Amino acid sequence: MKGDDNQPAAAIAAVSPPGSDKHHDQDDDVEVGKPASSHDAAGAGESTRRGLKSRHAQMIALGGSIGTGLFVGSGQGLKMGGPALLLACYAIITLLLYGVATGVGEMSAYLPVRGAGVAYYGQRFVSPSLGFTLGWLYWYIFSLGIAGEITITTIVLQYWPSPVPTAAWYTLIAVVIVACNLFPVAVYGEAEFCFASTKVVAILGLLLLTTVLFFGGGPAEPLYFSNWTRPGPVNTYLLEGGAGYLCAFVGTLTFSVYAFIFAPEMLVATAGEMQSPRRNMPKATKRYFYRLVLFYLLGVFAIGILVRSDNAGLLSPGNTAAASPWALGIKAAGIPVLDSIINAVIVLSAWSTGNSFLYIASRALYSLALSGHAPRIFARCTKHGIPLYATALSACFAALAYMNLGSTGSVVFNWLVNIVNTGAFQSWICCCFIYVRFYKATELQNVTVASGQLPYRSRFQPYAAWISGVVFFVLLLLNGFKVFVKGQWDTPTFITSYIGIVIFALLYFGHKFTIGRNDPWMAPLHEIDLHSGMEDVMAAELPPPPPIKWYQVWRILFE
């Protein structure tokens, strides 16, 4: 697996595009302008470039854990289930993702191939057909995510009255997103660094503000848990009584997934760009969990304190001008102007996320083309290393945002959430399955921590992977449960909730019965390749740094 001749089936290029397996450690402010791969005889014009600095990667990884799912989408979860159910559902998803993250973190710590994502490990540890399917899954889901972020941006913009037509906003936002992705990657890195920093500062400031308002530091009375008692900690949804509470729980749980989409996969994608990944990846996995607790669990807990679950401004189907629950809570607390400032930050956050989705989608398609799973034209790059054709095709999905002109924006957003959530469930199920295969192969081939070959083994594995995989499979089937409730049938909701399963099956079996017809359904455990490329990985390891002192504990969140 040395060199660039064995590209991943379709690695998610969350931080930088795929390239050589060898690690070139960079100083924090040293920018590398060399091509990221050397596949093509045409040279640099046929490859992306490594223009991201390590400070970009660190802040983008941190800011990437804070998106519109938390800033805006959490409002629909609050309206659906109430503050207690919202907090409980976020806690459940966090625990389930811990099972996914520790599994994929273990694989990427053992074999941190540059540019490799979950699709690569699926191809290597299970079958080429699974790697092919996951590669295309990531491309079309991230491409659809662009339309979702444009939609949510325009919904939030309607918080302020404006004579500008909705279609004009769609066009303007899409043009800015595409334009940013046509600049060299160093420009993209600087832009994302700034916006990720803004999101981190904003969420920390909002948590501090919530604490102040909780104890009565604002112009109004102390909040305490008043919004938990009026209208109550738990709501009913679709039905009344116990069935209504059950529907609220399932609906809130499935919808809440949007806030976490592909977070563990992003973690894996950074392994190949990390210094001494066999030592640092286990730390990164733990810190990922800490970030979820700090930003997500504390975030939704604060939202439940700030705003009532029956606030008419919360995002919900049929609401044409929803606002962030943070902005609504601040407005209800009587603090002037700040609600508009927060809403503006959230608009920038949504635009930033859409920008990232286009970047990742284009690099995923570029990687597919390099590996021969997509037309070769999508591997062509400009002299600045921009995969122009891959970016153009991925950007076409932004046009789906214009569906809002025929339907309410929040309805279209829910359709896109359904599709994206289906893809997330499928990806996480595959992550768990791939890890279980990896776990069994390492045990059979005696690649263990005791033998000194495996960097670490999570104490809860493989049981956590089994539990997470089974629960996510159940949630995949329940993603569109609403349409099966009496009187709630809606054809678009049904299609968007389950069409992803059909697409996954068509991709997998289409590849299996054509290109992969001679491949086994699953690689035998004793034949799974656990050693190719290991020499390069071990050569890239650096001596361990001095231990962190007590006053440097904050670094566990920002590194």
In angstroms, the CA 358 to CA 145 distance is 8
Tell me, what's the pLDDT at 15? 34
Query: 């339309």: which residue's tokens?
Result: 147
Tell me, what's the pLDDT at 57? 56
Name which of 331, 335, 89, 82 is nearest 230 in CA terms.
82
Provide CB contacts within 8 A for 492, sequence distance 6+: 415
Query: 């279609």: which residue's tokens?
Result: 167
Tell me, what's the pLDDT at 152? 81
What does the chain come to in residues?
A: 559
Tell me, what's the pLDDT at 137? 92
Query: 């806030």: which residue's tokens?
Result: 259
Provide CB contacts within 8 A for 195, sequence distance 6+: 63, 348, 349, 351, 352, 355
In angstroms, the CA 99 to CA 257 distance is 15
Provide CB contacts within 8 A for 211, sequence distance 6+: none
Beta bridge partners of 49: 35
Provide CB contacts within 8 A for 272, sequence distance 6+: 18, 21, 23, 112, 113, 114, 115, 116
- CATH number assigned to the domain covering 43-522: 1.20.1740.10
Tell me, what's the pLDDT at 469? 94
Tell me, what's the pLDDT at 55? 55
Name which of 474, 471, 472, 440 is nearest 457 in CA terms.
440
In angstroms, the CA 420 to CA 303 distance is 24
- Describe the crossing of helices 409-444 and 118-125 by its angle, rounded to 10 degrees: 40
Regions of the chain short of the pLDDT cut 70: 1-65, 114-116, 269-276, 315-323, 406-410, 450-452, 533-559
Tell me, what's the pLDDT at 506? 95
Tell me, what's the pLDDT at 28? 37
In angstroms, the CA 349 to CA 199 distance is 7
In angstroms, the CA 214 to CA 208 distance is 10
CA-only gyration radius of the chain, Å: 23
Tell me, what's the pLDDT at 18? 38
